[in-house]
A and B are shown apart, each in its own frame.
Chain A
Amino acid sequence: MNDKLYRGFLFIAALVVPVVCGGVVYALVTDAYEAFEYFGFFRFLTSSEWSYTDGAEQYGALPFITGTLMTTLLALVFCIPFSLPVALFVGEYFRDTQVAAVLGTVTDLLAGIPSIIYGLWGFYTLRPVIMALDISEQGSGILTASLVLAIMITPYASSLSAEFIKMVPNDLKEGAYSLGATHAEVVRKVVFPVAGSGIFSSYVLAIGRALGETMTVTMLIGNTNNIPESITSTGNSMASVIANQFGEASDLRLSSLIAIGLVLFLITALINMVGKIMIKRARIS
């Protein structure tokens, strides 16, 4: 094969990615247009009404945007107290040991479990616990979904954080030790400040994962179309309302769901981009 042909071949294969991405944006925008045109872009985003009574259809994305933000932030809060110790365990305390490898395998497997199985576990195991503890009556809701989401994003956050913790230069740590610092002080005063931006960016990427998680949230959030009043009430996230209603929707409702999809796509794209840029910067410095 001559060189030009070879390069052309690779180029065409590489072209697939921009074509798919362009197609994604194009299809979402054109199909969401009807909803945006009918309700107005900002009114669609800020309206909290979602009713499909014939003739008086009203669709607004606010309940689902709120639901997504609440589940994601809550999941992040629940995930940090576990993923940070895992990262320290693997990247600092038991670095390159057999136990760290075992813990690494555990988190890898956690990352591999399909989201529908997380959903089942949340529904049949965690939900009864929440009900028994009298936290909420129906068991499903923002809180239940966030708890399972937190487990799901822990592997992503911890493996990336561990990578940055491992990159902290040894001479810095040794310097601190030679001044008489304890291990805990080294972690707090040397490891965290140096690896901090990297650790932060790994949580940004974990947020990116949590935002779009679909099946788990759909099975656990309770699926009601109103703005959740508290963390124990039911709601819907952007992904879960699409999963729930897309199959039965048509016309304006379908377009509204696709519009929600477009908003979700833009938010995740933005978060992922910010995360990637931060990681790149953290790696260089």
Chain B
Amino acid sequence: MKPTYRTLVVISLALGLVSTGLISCDKTIEEPQRVGYAPADVDASAGTWKTYILTSPASVTVASPSATSSADYQAELTELRSKSTSLTPEQQEAVVYWGAGAVYRWNEIARELAARYNVPPASNADGKYPIPDAANPLADPKFPFANPPYTARALAYMSVAQYDALVAAWNYKYAFKRLAPSKVDATIRVALPVSALPAYPSEDAVVAAASAVVLKAMFPGEVAFIDAKVAEHRNSRQWAGMNVTSDLTAGADLGMQVGAKVMARARADGMSTSNNQTLTAGMIEAAKSRGQADIWLSQESPARPPMLPNYGAVSTWNFDRATLVKLRPGPAPQPGTEQFIKELDELKAIQKNQTREQARIANYWADGAGSYTPPGHWHRTAADAAHEAKFSEVRMARTLALVGTTLQDASVCCWETKFYYYTPRPQQFGLKTSVGVPNFPSYASGHSTFSAAAAIVLGTVFPNRADEFWAKAVEASDSRMYGLIHFRSDCSVGLECGKKIGSYAVLRGKADGSGL
């Protein structure tokens, strides 16, 4: 090799090495880490807050705890000391994980289950779509298909169960006033911040048990997974030196009682007939008789029956049926009208020249198959905000119950509207999509309705962030036009309805005795 070429080779090799160095070899995925905190306020009076399902904390029972001076309690302390003295790395990891917050983690787990089950069934050889079977949840197709309405409802029930159970727990905590083990015995080594909150019954055990009852009913194929989480959560409280066994046992018992009461409502809320496909012919006729000439048709091949056409009949949380009918918007612009053509042209223009920023927004909010859905997205936003504000467990549960119930109210109202008008998707007028076409009528946009309702509630809970949440709602709404699957009217009307829906949850929150 001539010296010149040798130099060239050396330079190229050096460049290669430098560029390899620049692109770090580390492939670990960094996720935002959440750690525990002592709450800004323990909300000592939360035992009086208004519950959703429980008529009063007295409707569940909690056994009186043994006194901290008793031999029983001292034996429990000895057991706790031995469990919390030296931890394996896995135990330490579990302590940190669960220490981020019981409600926070169970909300995250529920979203993960939703994502895992959010895949539409495949068509079979006959061109039919088999219906998921609750009695055989792990067969193909898996039960449930955790689509947005299903997930909105599952998360709402779990959040309500957590909240009601925690209000009852707070009531008993302050009735019994049994101190945290480390406050009884300073030699107990704790791995997490200890607040002034009485320890019996354990709020962590309450949340784990109540959440597990709801999640096992909603995701019957995941019983073993949920049980393992409950066990790890419970153990983590002892590894962390936070609870003696009787704190946990009483908490689990209370959580299960509340979970059962909440699931009794769920079993009678109309969900069992939400997928009644025999109703669609009548719905289409009714929509036509109201002047809807072009009706929605499934854009899938083979045509898939619409997602939960009778979900609009499911019970709401924050208002009654008559109010739901009043909340339903007027009809969408009819194909052929000037307004409709204008909105269609707007989408055609986006399709022709979709910017990268429009694609980004469409993708960010897509929350389609395989995701935790838009209701899951807003639960995450709410849980993160409550975590950042260092909310107590009960106040975080209240936030998520307000957001969760309004999201389900939004899904019920939106589905009722969708199947009342039965309007076509933009794809029936030749448009493509950069996110995937949902398999149900277009008007009004679910994303817009969900997002506005959640943003209005969150804006009330976190007034200094109200503009930020509303901007997110508007972006989520716009994302459906950027993804080419909704007309502007679908989105703007969805936002308006969502705002009104959210205001009912806000009214409830203002009257729940929390003073917040």
A, B co-complexed: no
Interface residues of B (CB under 8 A from A): none
Interface residues of A (CB under 8 A from B): none
